[in-house]
């Protein structure tokens, strides 16, 4: 069931969205060569707690950390580790969720570490563009298939693969609500979105094949060909004439 949020509920989601945005901005200012992904996770945890919020991911279905830290060919759900050191030239995707006064915020960014190849720079840039292409014409009454259509057409025009095994999702009091939001699809198809529907829209774009493989740890997802992947996500709410981005 798709849950339409009231104006007062959207006000609450704005607050959780601001904290989510601020955590990512903070981590982006701190990430550097030589630090571990576990250090990033600790920074995120401390920031979220100091903001009066709770990390959404910590303990979610057994996930052991406050952020997902996914480096280079890891698409999503990388587990922070004391043994994983960030290196020059890597791209690091950080996905974070917070709960504030019972409401969720969810967003992701892919950060460039030091001198990064042109290939990786372009991948990160196009992935972000995919998100903004997807929401450009989105409004009350839009078919949900339009989101995936605009992500897919932009990514594939650059020769990139659009991950199909994972999708965006509805969001509210729960991290994952209906509907699923694929990053591929046909324009004009699917359910019609209504004002007050909140979504986490999250293009996951691979430099090579769209296919992925799931690691034995039960969380980490990698590209099947070892090529890099980028991730860009925001929580948005559908309005009468467009969308409001709650995590930007």
pLDDT score for 207:
98
Which CATH number does the domain 7-245 belong to among 1.10.3810.10, 3.40.50.720, 3.10.20.30, 3.90.230.10?
3.90.230.10
Q: 195-207 as b/e, with b when 16 or more CB fall inside 10 Å? A: ebbbbbbbbbbbb
State the DSSP H helix or E strand holding residue 35, giving kind and residue range, or none if neither. none
Mean pLDDT of the residues in the chain? 98
Q: What percent of the chain has pLDDT over 70?
A: 100
User: What pLDDT digit, counting tens, does each position of 22-79 carry?
Assistant: 999 999 999 999 999 999 999 999 999 999 999 999 999 999 999 999 999 999 999 9
Cα gap 31→13, rounded to integer Å: 27
User: What is the distance of C-alpha 237 from the center of its chain?
Assistant: 15
The answer to whether the bond into 179 is cis (omega within 30° of 0) is: yes
Q: What is the band of 131 on the pLDDT scale with cuts at 50, 70, 90?
A: very high
Q: Is 75 helix (H, G, I), strand (E, B) or coil?
A: strand
Taking alpha carbons only, the member of 194, 198, 191 closest to residue 172 is 198
Strands (E), 78-233: 91-100, 103-112, 161-162, 168-170, 177-181, 198-201, 204-206, 212-214, 221-223, 229-231
User: Which two tokens mark 174?
Assistant: 């729960």
Confidence label for 179 from pLDDT (cuts 50, 70 and 90): very high
pLDDT at 135: 97
| Confidence bin at 147 (pLDDT 50/70/90) | very high
Choose among 235, 106, 215: nearest CA to 165. 215
Predicted confidence (pLDDT) per residue in 213-236, tens digit: 999 999 999 999 999 999 999 999
pLDDT at 99: 98
- Nearest CA among 107, 108, 104 for reference residue 15: 104
Sign of the four-CA dihedral 100, 112, 72, 118: positive
The 221-223 sheet, strands edge to edge: 74-76, 221-223, 212-214
109 and 29 in contact (C-beta within 8 Å)?
Answer: no
Q: Can you tell me the distance from the alpha carbon of 116 to that of 84, in angstroms, rounded to the nearest whole number?
A: 18
The pLDDT value recorded for residue 82 is 98
Mean pLDDT across 115-129: 98
pLDDT for position 141: 96
The answer to whether the beta carbons of residues 163 and 130 sit under 8 Å apart is no
What kind and span of H or E run contains 176? none
Average pLDDT of the residues in 110-115: 97
In this prediction, residue 180 carries a pLDDT of 97
The pLDDT score that the predictor gives to residue 186 is 96
Q: Which of 108, 105, 43 is nearest to 78 (CA)?
A: 108
Question: Residues 201-210: pLDDT tens digits?
Answer: 999 999 999 9
H-helix or E-strand spanning residue 23: helix 7-30
């Amino acid at each position: 069931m798709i849950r339409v949020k009231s104006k007062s509920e959207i006000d609450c989601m704005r607050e959780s969205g601001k904290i989510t945005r601020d955590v990512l901005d903070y981590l982006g200012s701190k990430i550097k060569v030589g630090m571990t992904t576990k250090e990033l996770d600790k920074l995120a945890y401390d920031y979220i707690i100091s903001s009066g919020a709770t990390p959404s991911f910590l303990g979610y279905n057994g996930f052991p950390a406050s952020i997902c830290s996914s480096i280079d060919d890891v698409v999503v759900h990388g587990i922070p580790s004391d043994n994983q050191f960030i290196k020059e030239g890597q791209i690091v995707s950080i996905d974070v969720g917070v709960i504030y006064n019972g409401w969720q915020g969810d967003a992701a960014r892919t950060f460039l570490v030091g001198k990064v190849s042109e290939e990786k720079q372009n991948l990160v840039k196009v992935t972000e563009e995919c998100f903004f292409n997807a929401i450009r014409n989105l409004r009350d009454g839009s078919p949900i298939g339009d989101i995936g259509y605009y992500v897919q057409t932009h990514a594939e025009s650059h020769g990139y693969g659009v991950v199909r095994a994972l999708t965006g999702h509805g969001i509210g009091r729960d991290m994952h609500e209906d509907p699923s939001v694929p990053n591929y699809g046909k324009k004009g198809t699917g359910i019609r979105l209504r004002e007050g529907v909140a979504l986490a829209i999250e293009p996951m774009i691979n430099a090579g094949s769209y296919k992925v493989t799931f690691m034995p740890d039960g969380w980490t997802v990698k590209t099947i060909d070892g090529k890099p992947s980028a991730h860009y996500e925001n929580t948005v709410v559908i309005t009468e004439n467009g969308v409001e981005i709650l995590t930007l």
